[in-house]
Structures are given as C-alpha cells and as structure tokens.
Amino acid sequence: MRKSNIELAKQYYAWIVEKNINNLSELLDEEIEFVGPMSSIKKKENVLRAIEGYSQIVQNIEILESFANGEKVLLTYLLTFQNKTSRAAVQLNFKNHLIEKLELYYDPTPFINFRERIFSN
C-alpha cells in the first residue's frame, strides 16, 4: 500500500534530519520548484544541492501539525539548528506521489549567516 502524501512529507523531513539525501531524492519530481524567503530554485539537481546544505545545519525537525487537501500538504514544525529553535511552515505540492513544489514560510533572520552554505549553487 502506498503512503499518503502526509506520510511522504513527514518522511521527507525525517530524511533531512538523518541527512539521507539519497532516499530523499526519490521523493522529488525532476521539475521540482523550491520557493522560500531566501531563494527560489528549480530542477531536482539544484534543489538537492540546497537540501544537502540545509541538512548540514539541521539538528532536529519536530512536526507540530499536518494537513492535506488533495495533492497539497501543509506542515508546521519546529526546526532546531545550532541549539536554536525556529517555527516554520511548508506547503508541499505532490504529483503522482512526488513533490513537485516546496514553498517555505519562516523568518529568515536566524539563517542569514548560513545563506551561502545552503544556496551555494
């Protein structure tokens, strides 16, 4: 039985924490679009580079709430990095059980010093 889109979204974030980029890659559509406060990126290879950089600063992600409406999933979560915690939300758009768009909502202020490390492509 296939996992629901909510389960896939939660798995995506678990793999970020585990720094398991190979498995995470299987959840992404080739034409994925990433939109966030610090950058917008298209194409799987480019998004994967950013995710790999992001995963290096992440210590933990605690999912607080999850909602689904058709092919869209919304997660709210607490992100821990460098012993700091920040609240965030993400909308993931799925197509055929692959993530085709990630749109992040968070205050980028704590991440400014990591911008180059995450988005070095």
Instruction: Please report the pLDDT score of residue 2 as a whole number.
Output: 84
**How far is Cα 81 from Cα 29, in angstroms, rounded to an integer?**
27
Number of H helices, E strands in the chain: 4, 6
pLDDT average per 10 residues of sequence, the chain (121 residues): 93 97 97 94 96 92 97 96 90 97 88 66 53
Which CATH code for domain 5-118? Answer: 3.10.450.50
pLDDT value of residue 80: 92
pTM: 0.87
Nearest-5° Cα angle at 36, 64 to 70: 55
C-beta separation of 61 from 73 below 8 A: no
Task: Please give the pLDDT value at position 60.
Answer: 96
Among 57, 59, 37, 33, residue whose Cα is nearest residue 46:
33
Which positions ≥6 away from 63 have C-beta within 8 Å? 10, 13, 75, 76, 77
Nearest to 20 by CA among 12, 9, 28: 12
Question: What's residue 107's pLDDT?
Answer: 83
Tokens of 81: 């990095």
